[in-house]
Structure 1
């Protein structure tokens, strides 16, 4: 018997796809340079707002979106890698996927943070550059434009390849549940709350996070 369960609530799904669009657009605008950097900064602030939202949503969001639910111990991840699986490994993020998601969020946070401290010495400077030393700005700029970018691209590539691997080799489609929110499972599990009140709360939270990101963007003008 198969059970249809709401795993990913709408706010989590919208966050995921908005982040995908922003990351791709950030790479494109960075490669174009010039006037496109205006949009690069705007997209960076958008990612900041999204990350702030996901941080809070990781504690108050749908059951399977909460950090306490999907994050596992390194020992459990190693057992999963050795082929020792637990029933709930197939519900939301599996142990390896959970650590990959955490790493991706941390790398994105580092990339956004270093961008806020970066200065291209031509036309664009992050809003936090005036609060730190020149050495810190130089280090942040080097990380943002070289090391951080490469690490992020490598992890995103690994993420995409993992999705393809699970679809082709293990016959597990990971993308459809992130579109519909529902997943077919062989056993009943707690469903993520995804009602109108949950979505309204998520919208209010996003507005607050966007306001905070806007405030950070204006710090260089204060």
Structure 2
């Protein structure tokens, strides 16, 4: 028996909306944020620093991929006006078919905010010096007062990350419960089922060789920074 969405808009077609690079970065950041917290809590600071360097590598790659990568990865494709984002949130409780190929108007801004907050966390960690156990690779290049400020930002910003992660999870659950939109499966498989009329809007996927080049450049930059320590 056909689902209500299919009866209303015709059969659903499977379309690849997220490339493997976006999905790998997304889930790697989820794991690394948790690992970084655990390493700091258990005073395994070498692991904490290494995890932060990997996170910074992934963030630099994501910024580059957001400029030159797949359609659904590009900031110019999913960042719309803030007002459009607020209008989208006003309809959060409305049951309607999922017709978004990539990030919706509100989700795009959440992605940008999360990237900026994570980048703040990674960069502040480079300059942090607690005077006892940990010293970021760039801490020697700044004054003690600046290193203390970086440490304060690093600690406070992590609380903001926890708030944003909790908000992200709540919104995903709200979409599943209120709108019957599954946002998790496409980020795992890369594919989404959309009305056939939208299948022609399937996004162009980025060049994998370009992705490897961007990842190599990001890793090279972070390695050079790490060696300063």
1:201 equivalent in alignment to 2:210: yes
**Alpha-carbon shift at residue 200 of structure 1 (Å):** 2.8
Unaligned runs of 5+ in 2: 1-10
TM-score by length of 2: 0.88
1:148 paired residue among 148, 152, 157? 157
Specify the structure having the higher radius of gyration (Cα).
2
What is the aligned partner in structure 1 of residue 105 from structure 2? 95
Deviations 1:35-68 (A, max 9, x none): x111100000001100000000001111111100
TM-score by length of 1: 0.90
**Alpha-carbon shift at residue 72 of structure 1 (Å):** 1.1
What is the aligned partner in structure 1 of residue 201 from structure 2? 190
1:57 equivalent in alignment to 2:65: yes
Contact 2:17 2:186 in 1 (8 A): yes
Contact 1:63 1:191 in 2 (8 A): no
What is the aligned partner in structure 2 of residue 82 from structure 1? 90
| Count of residue correspondences | 215
What is the aligned partner in structure 1 of residue 28 from structure 2? 18
Deviations 1:98-127 (A, max 9, x none): 111111100000001110110121121011
Unaligned runs of 5+ in 1: none
Q: Counterparts of 1:1-222 in structure 2 under 5 Å?
A: 1-33=11-43, 36-83=44-91, 90-145=100-155, 147-186=156-195, 187-194=198-205, 198-220=207-229
**Alpha-carbon shift at residue 189 of structure 1 (Å):** 4.3
**Alpha-carbon shift at residue 201 of structure 1 (Å):** 2.4
Contact 1:6 1:192 in 2 (8 A): yes
**Alpha-carbon shift at residue 88 of structure 1 (Å):** 8.7
